């Protein structure tokens, strides 16, 4: 049927099969190495049973929630005061009278362009 010599000369057998084995084998190899990494992280994160007995998880979470709620209330009050101050500033500013001024392009000298804009505004007013 097929001779060994013909299989050696076949490009699919010579190049394709090793490539396919490398890709599939590499996939399985990477899977195993990644699993080792995650297993090691799990082991490091576990507490020693004697330490775990000392730490009461429910009490810790209650303390953290109380601190967070207190901090949230103070931040909210500060934010509301800040908003009120900004609203007062906006009421003082006249937003109906404004002029659209084009900014300088990257290749233009900004000082020179600003001076030109100011002189045009002075002529129009």
According to the model, what pLDDT value does residue 56 have? 58
pTM of the model: 0.32
Provide the token pair at 78: 């500060």
According to the model, what pLDDT value does residue 63 have? 60
Q: Please report where in the chains the tokens 């300088």 appear, as a residue.
A: 104
Which has the higher per-residue pLDDT, 19 or 47? 19
The angle at the Cα of 124, spanning 123 to 125, to the nearest 5 degrees, equals: 95
pLDDT, tens digit, 9 for 90 and up, residues 22-36: 999 999 999 999 999
According to the model, what pLDDT value does residue 7 have? 79
According to the model, what pLDDT value does residue 60 have? 60
According to the model, what pLDDT value does residue 110 have? 80
pLDDT, tens digit, 9 for 90 and up, residues 59-103: 566 566 666 666 666 777 888 888 898 888 888 888 788 777 777
According to the model, what pLDDT value does residue 21 have? 94
H-run or E-run covering 7: helix 4-9
């Amino acid at each position: 049927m097929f001779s060994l010599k013909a299989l050696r000369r076949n490009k699919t057998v010579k190049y394709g099969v090793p490539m396919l084995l490398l890709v599939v084998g590499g996939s399985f190899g990477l899977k195993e190495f990644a699993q080792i990494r995650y297993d090691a992280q799990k082991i490091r994160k576990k507490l020693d049973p004697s330490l775990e007995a000392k730490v009461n998880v429910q009490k810790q979470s209650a303390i953290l929630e109380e601190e967070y709620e207190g901090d949230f209330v103070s931040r909210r009050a500060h934010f509301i005061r800040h908003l009120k101050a900004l609203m007062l500033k906006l009421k003082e500013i006249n937003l109906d009278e404004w002029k659209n001024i084009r900014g300088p392009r990257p290749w233009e000298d900004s000082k020179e362009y600003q001076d030109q804009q100011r002189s045009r505004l002075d002529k129009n007013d």
